[in-house]
Structure 1
Amino acid sequence: MTKHHVHSTHPALVARLKRADGHLRAVIAMIEAGKPCIEIAQQLHAVEKAVVNAKRALIHDHMEHCLDTEHSEADRAELRSIARYL
């Protein structure tokens, strides 16, 4: 079982996800109100990007703070670089 841990960046990540949640709720309301599909698609794209960016921030934070010290800074930089493609 993994142990519970909180990073200093987690509160900002939670705030970012709460904003994305509010945005998603607004998109749902747009659909229910019959707004044009192009507007809905545009807003869904924004929500998707917000969630992807939150995921990327979480993964980068994990790589910075949770990898063992036997990994060099170059290794961590390479991992951060490739994580952009997640």
Structure 2
Amino acid sequence: MELTLVAEEMRSVLNRLRRAQGQIAGVIKMIEDGRSCDEVVTQLAAASRALDRAGFAIIATGLEHCMTEPEGEGGTPVDREQMRARLEKLFLSLA
């Protein structure tokens, strides 16, 4: 399934990914500086949530895309069961 995100959705996803990137860099520095375990885990959890939210935003956009454009490549009809299975697999990959 090819996914083209509209500009506003892409901006939101990129902001979340940049935030996660900064948080991960912060976690690395915290570990290098010998910070406490609870501080490191708290920041790591925040980065994980940011990544999850970015993934869910991409999946939601893909779902919207599938609902508005029910044809596959070359204009062939999409097998609904196959599409359902692909979307389920995407959701489970973030679970």
TM-score normalised according to structure 2 size: 0.65
Aligned 8 A contact 2:19 2:47 in 1:
no
Instruction: Give every structure 1 segment of 4 or more consecutive aligned residues whose post-TM-superposition deviation is greater than 2 Å.
Output: 2-8, 83-86
**Please, which runs of 5 or more residues in structure 2 have no aligned partner?**
72-76, 78-86
Tell me what 1:24 maps to: 24
**C-alpha distance in structure 2 between counterparts of 1:58 and 1:47, whole Å:** 17
**Superposed displacement of residue 11, structure 1:** 1.9
- What is the number of residues matched between the two proteins? 77
For 1:4 and 1:65, locate their aligned partners in 2 and report how far apart those are by CA, in whole Å. Answer: 8
Higher share in helix: 2
Tell me the CA shift for residue 40 of structure 1. Answer: 0.4
C-alpha RMSD of the superposition: 3.0
* 2:7 matches 1:5: no
Unmatched 5+ stretches in structure 1: 71-78
After superposing the two structures, state which structure 1 stretch, 12-21 or 26-35, moved more.
12-21
How many Å apart are 1:23 and its aligned residue?
A: 1.0
- Tell me the distance in 2 between the aligned counterparts of 1:17 and 1:27: 15
Name the CA distance, whole Å, in 1 between partners of 2:11 and 2:24.
20
Higher mean C-alpha deviation, range 60-69 or range 26-35: 60-69
TM-score relative to the length of structure 1: 0.70
Matched ranges for 1:1-86 at <5 A? 5-8=4-7, 9-67=9-67, 68=70, 83=91, 86=95
